[in-house]
Structure 1
Amino acid sequence: MPNRAKREPISHIGGMGFLVLGLFLLIPVRAEAIGPSALGGDLAQIASAFFTSLAVHETGHALIADQMGGEGVSIHFFTQESDNFALGLTKVKKLDRRSTLPFAMGGEIANSLNFEYALHRYRHQPTVFNRSLLLFSGTDFLWYTVYSFYLSNGSSPSDPLFIHQETGLSREAILGVALTQSLLNFYRVTSGKDTVVPYFTYDRYSVNFMLRLATW
């Protein structure tokens, strides 16, 4: 059963370490312009937002693995796994088989929270960094699902593939959830209204996709 645990971890970070790291990564730092042009500064902020989203995603996996009592948790960036290059990869040496689903969804859960924070920041400071972070965190589940199922055709281990294996949900159903989340995120950004808010809840053995309706 896939659990991202195929070798000894490179490093181990305790629960408090993950929490501090996660909070640090959620604090947007405005990138300074590179060179004389504003374009350089914009590109730096976009890149900073992308890597922030990536780091938050992997930290989410690690945090949930730690919460579920996982042992040997490690985070890797720009690594090779099963002949496939991975921008980010989180492994756990030992994890309760029944907690595989929350672990697999950890990155999406973390970036869902990251989106909420970025949206709050964007409404007060519509910087390039905040706009970019909204894009990357708000579409994290969608682009990962499209890549996993339709571009790589399930040829490499991935969160959506694990979700498919654990729940029996079809690829189309998982894509539907990811697309719904991204479209609602887009509506909230463009309209400035939080009429419907998508979010995830989880416990030791399950994950739920929820919609919260605004009340007046």
Structure 2
Amino acid sequence: MASGREKNSGPWSQGSFRLEAEPAETRRAPPVRPAAHRAAPRQPIRAAWPGVAPATEDKRAALCRSRTLLVLIQTQKESTMVLSSDDKANIKAAWSKVGGHGAEYGAEALERMFHSFPTTKTYFPHFDLSHGSAQIKVHGKKVAEALTNASNHLDDLYSALSDLSDLHAHKLRVDPVNFKLLGHCLLVTLARNYPGDFSPAMQASLDKFLSLVTSALASKHL
């Protein structure tokens, strides 16, 4: 008569459902896909904002598209704003004071934008972004010239800025949210340099003007 140990030995011992291991010589290795058909692993990228977990390229692209769409929807609404005669007078008065300081203030606004919104630096990879940089001064002059042109065509901003909109949408491929960020920094720059003239009415008029400029520059992104 077999002992208790012998009776309970085997593949289903102790009442547990345990299959015996397959002999090594009969095992088949899983098929190995050719290297050409293997999908490359997605590499996580650094988050665009502090405190946000890293995302994949697809997630970041989707986030950028969503953010751009929201900005475009908002700028479409802003494009329906109308400058009153008082607004136009305030804008003309502000720009007459700027005069020959346009390049200086444009450069200051760019520096403020780079410090306050560091992600905007990605559009200037070959620039010297240090304080007083000659490259920032040159670009600040371009910003000032564009705004001077806009202030001289308040009744036809879209036509006046059409070429710039084409350039930023199709060649430079700038996210239109950056126009709003620069507009905000320009407003702060003007307020700092002309505190006595920056009344609530002046601020409202300039804010409306810069919002319309943003809408005009973003129009070719639609």
> TM-score scaled by structure 2?
0.28
Decide which structure has the larger Cα Rg and report it.
2
> TM-score scaled by structure 1?
0.28
Higher-helix-fraction structure:
2
Higher-strand-fraction structure:
1
